[in-house]
Structure 1
């Protein structure tokens, strides 16, 4: 049986007449106790601007049926900085846990955020999100994620910038979002009955599909450059095997999304686009000998393109399934 526990905090003083927004931050966790503890600790220090009051609830979804994070999470239940909801989702898989997070938001929630359990935001993160939302009348706000490397990381991967993510101008309207640093209009999403695709249980990429569907329905997404989140890159990911498989999976995810929710025209486009990237990647491949950055771009084109073509042909790479293999 799924379990849920709630730990309320005392009311936070706000300006007279300013109705605080009800914000929920969803975090999925699976046997990463140090990460979830660091995140919950950092969230106690969020800066609150008097002109943008809010009532915060942290929604922690433990995807370990044994509830391994319970003791760690419950130790933050009386910080006074936020309400705390702890949920166990026994169906293993990222989309199941994300949907459980959405379903566990308190009644009356205005805005919902997602963060990962290997991340931590700057102290002004939530207010920066709110400021961008206010200035642009945004339905959704997405922010930067900065990698934090282990000691003595492989120099090639640093020069190749393989773990760095795309950045935009502050306040710029963009056409994408992901679940690693995002805030969105909760009632709007619920009115559309949008869910994370549970058929993509172990493939990854359900957040790409989720926000792509929302944007196609009219959701307006804006970039909040000051809403910075730090992301730990473990040494286990700084290997050629992991990097190459990740590039293949990213392309494969785009195609699997089209197979499940796209029409014939979209599938043909994705297959042709993937084939084009394979050709481009092969043409650029010699650059790997002289430039880490351009060499990695070549591999990215080649592997993402191959992932797209194979995805349209029916192969769904299960990155998050135990012992996944190409």
Structure 2
């Protein structure tokens, strides 16, 4: 049985999948006999099967291909969890590339801090053709955390993380299906784990590259995504059992202030064509999301089958 499962969910990104998977196969400083790679294809047709088979032919450890035709990021992750055999599960996205020491750094941090989840930095890189708002776009898709390794009191997203399977509330299907189309299934899981006393750790040495797909390197995408990120705190309070109505009201009030203040600054910055205008628009969108977080305002980012 594998000690560590590395999981890559994917949907119609064959080139990115190949880069991500080959970076997993090249991991150093770990015992390959205790590893397995699970590729979860979340396309209606098994479009990634050929890539998975070609990778399996060159792999130093087992590669398992899982076809999950039901659209949705939670469905994909849960299908991978059902196949995974590892005591630990490491997540890598299909637009990420891991340096050779990535997995060893995650495992060392998990052991050092007895962590239930370990997170690492993400360094986004935009193509040379992207010139307008380049710095903002690369920061948007990056994950920047503490300079030093250690236990942390908050959590990040699933990409570039290592989970101790025994700490999960459900070791087979821990991701909430209601988040299939809007995302945040990992935030919901980690929020429940934190409430149950899980230990989170950060390891700066466990960093990965991220190469966002070109159609996401636009303000149209990132500002809509910032709005959705802003919805997270309010929606999480509403989803608590019992619902945290005071928390919802508090976050909505914070959002009103942020949207008004940051929106005014963004408007001024746009008028003078300031270099940091996109950052202020992003902040205003996150504030607005805290206020407008319920059903009609939810934005679908995942789960499209076509």
Name stretches of at least 5 consecutive residues in structure 2 with no aligned partner. none
State whether structure 2 residue 89 is matched by structure 1 residue 112.
yes
Which of the residues 267, 281, 288 maps onto 1:299?
281
TM-aligned CA deviation for residue 196 of structure 1: 1.4
Which of the residues 208, 214, 217 maps onto 2:187?
208
CA 1:211/1:54 → structure 2, altered by over 3 Å: closer, same or farther? Answer: farther
TM-aligned CA deviation for residue 311 of structure 1: 0.8
TM-aligned CA deviation for residue 38 of structure 1: 1.4
TM-score (norm: length of structure 1): 0.84
Deviations 1:17-41 (A, max 9, x none): xxx9700111111111111111221
TM-aligned CA deviation for residue 54 of structure 1: 6.4
Backbone CA RMSD of aligned residues: 2.4
TM-aligned CA deviation for residue 56 of structure 1: 0.7
TM-aligned CA deviation for residue 279 of structure 1: 2.3
What residue is the counterpart of 2:127 in the other structure? 150
Identify the range of structure 1 (36-45 vs 247-256) with the bigger mean alpha-carbon deviation.
247-256
TM-score (norm: length of structure 2): 0.89
What residue is the counterpart of 1:173 in the other structure? 151
Map 1:255-294 onto structure 2 (within 5 A).
255-261=234-240, 262-285=243-266, 286-288=268-270, 289=272, 291-293=274-276
Identify the range of structure 1 (313-322 vs 269-278) with the bigger mean alpha-carbon deviation.
313-322
CA 1:80/1:69 → structure 2, altered by over 3 Å: closer, same or farther? Answer: closer
What residue is the counterpart of 2:40 in the other structure? 61
What residue is the counterpart of 1:182 in the other structure? 161
TM-aligned CA deviation for residue 284 of structure 1: 2.4
Is the Cα contact below 8 Å between 1:204 and 1:253 reproduced in 2? no
Is the Cα contact below 8 Å between 1:237 and 1:243 reproduced in 2? yes
Deviations 1:147-193 (A, max 9, x none): 12112212323257433332212313221121110001111115678
Deviations 1:83-115 (A, max 9, x none): 111111121110111111111112xx2111111
Total equivalences in the alignment:
299
